[in-house]
Chain A
Amino acid sequence: MDSPEEPPGGAETPLLQVRGLTKEFPIYAPGWPRRQVGVQRAVDDVSFDLSTGETLGLVGESGCGKSTTVRCLLRAFAPTAGEVRFALPDQRVVDLARLPERELKPLRRHIQMVFQDPFSSLNPRMTVGEIVGEPLVIHRLARGRELEDRVAQVLERVGLKPEHRLRYPHAFSGGQRQRIGIARAIILRPSLLVCDEATSALDVAMQAQVLDLLKELQRDFGLTYLFVAHNLDVVRGFCDRVAVMRRGRIVEEAPTAEIFAAPRHPYTRILLSAVPSPDPDVPLNFRVGEDLARLDATGG
């Protein structure tokens, strides 16, 4: 799946190689004692590559398994099957899917995440300084004055003021909170940043600002992004490549421009037709429901 426009990383090993990732959840019958009656396959044989400095959009509607996929990558829970090969800064390649939690912990600093909900992702009982500095404390990388300085630096880097570190999250707007979340994620200088619907809870104007900030940070720190979104429109102009997920599978993966210009999979076409265009003469497809039903009928 090499994009002809942007081949970042080139021939060297990709930063992240996901192969055959599968996650099944047990289904229990109602009642007690509980009895397992089957499995729900939330992620079904997902594979993709991500090169250093690249941005991959993972797009799909709620319940399509995109959040489960990234949570498997980050080992919020263990995948049922598959490999997650991750290249460490020292060129070592580890399989995150199989690593025991104890060995995983020191590696967590290389992969960070920005959450969707700017309200629940920041501990309301901690000051902004404590929240942003916590990664350094956990990994024992800085303390005292140095900690303070690095927190102040990173706050400025994401467009906040150093004196904001004494405040509590409740004093900030949604967009500012998302910046705090980004500051916490980048303070460890990770190589991979997973943005799980990082802009979905924001209004259009703030969305644009946060995306601009992420672009800047990518340029300055050479970050690699895995950008999860339910809105296909958001990834336009931000991602290099897009993978469209439906029912646990990736149905189409292509460079962003290609996806928007010539979508191959009918589901991608339906998603695109549901994006409301700011041009009143390009009518929105209000009949998506029927299109989706037809897609199901043909077994797409």
Chain B
Amino acid sequence: MPPDLSPAPVRPPAALLEVRNLRVSFFTPEGVVGAVQNASFAIERGRTLALVGESGSGKSVTAYSLLRLIQPPGRILSGQVLLRSQRVGEVDLGHLDERSGLLFTVRGGVISMIFQEPMVALSPVHTIGSQIDEAILVHQEVSRAAARRRTLEMLHKVGVADPEHRYRQYPHELSGGLRQRVVIAMALVCRPELLIADEPTTALDLTTQAQILGLIKELQREIGCSVLLITHDFGVVAQMADDVAVMHRGEIVERGSVRAVLRNPQHPCTRLLLDALPARRAAAAGRRPDGRALS
């Protein structure tokens, strides 16, 4: 598959999102914890950046701070989050007023987010359909009927069978995989320029994970958005991302294209994450490196 064909001709010189020297700390009763320390990276238009690290390395905090979703006792100390949006122009999200309308336009309109646990994003007391409708109505001036049409179309697109029926269902009536599809529909229905996916498949079965990853890839191609994928699994990175940034204790310790990093990992932490993969462990344990057979 040639995913690089479409974004190439229109790619502007500057990256869609550029993070410079981001610092986030948590002011807890027992002291200050520096969760993100001087993180700098860029997300190119139409490409996928994977932010990889162990649990507690600060990758989720980084993602949350892009949308200014850090809750007290956490605080963004310094740093720029430059968004060069086609829709709202160039904004520094790091210094935007907490209550400004622009921030709300960006959240969900220009940058969408999906979480490891789909129920975080879904309200248990509203039907799926009304929640996606709401996501459209908040960001676009369309009639309720038009929003409903868009919702059904989107549900169909994310592979939900019988959208008319699902439209009226509540989140708890769906399986985990289906919920994540609904969340993806909700996140992409406004055609954002950047999708942040925070461990979107960690809680899912392998077969469901493969389907959800495929879905994200497919919709990314269609919408032309960039993806920031947060994960600890280099298998997922290799399959999904173009570029990778490895985080360790709040710092970005290695950056580069996926192929370069996989071929020649520099930082010990990257190597540790790679060597921890079962496939590599099995190979290291002297078993015969197995061909992956799907005849």
Contacts and interface: CB of A to CB of B under 8 A. Distances in A.
Q: Classify A-B as touching or not with yes or no (CB < 8 A).
A: yes
A273 B294 contact: yes
B235 A203 contact: no
Given A203-B232, A204-B233, A207-B276, A274 B281 contact: no
Given A237-B281, A237-B282, A286 B290 contact: no
A232 B294 CA distance: 15
Given A232-B206, A271-B206, A276-B236, A282 B211 contact: no
A235 B56 CA distance: 25
Interface string B71-98: 0000000000000000000000000000
A13 to B, nearest CB: 29
Interface stretch (A78-86, A154-162, A255-263): A255-263
- Give the interface size class of chain A: 35 or more
A279 interface: yes
Contact of B235 (A230, A271, A277): A277
Nearest to B285: A237
A203 B262 contact: no
B282 to A, nearest CB: 3
B288 interface: yes
Interface in B265-295: 272-282, 284-285, 287-288, 290-295
Q: Number of contact residues on B: which range applies?
A: 35 or more
Interface in B24-41: none
Contacts of B290: 257, 260-261
29 contacts: A61-B205, A173-B56, A203-B54, A203-B55, A204-B232, A204-B233, A204-B234, A204-B273, A206-B54, A236-B281, A237-B278, A237-B282, A237-B285, A237-B287, A238-B278, A260-B290, A263-B293, A270-B294, A272-B292, A274-B210, A276-B213, A276-B236, A276-B239, A277-B235, A277-B238, A284-B214, A286-B218, A288-B207, A288-B210
Interface string A243-275: 000000000000001001111000001111111
A114 interface: no
B219 to A, nearest CB: 12
Contacts of B295: 269
A231 interface: yes
A278 B259 CA distance: 10
A282 B167 CA distance: 37
B209 interface: yes
B107 interface: no
Q: Would you list the 10 A-B pairs with minimal beta carbon distance, nearest first?
A: A286-B214, A237-B282, A276-B235, A208-B276, A203-B232, A274-B210, A260-B290, A61-B205, A274-B206, A273-B294
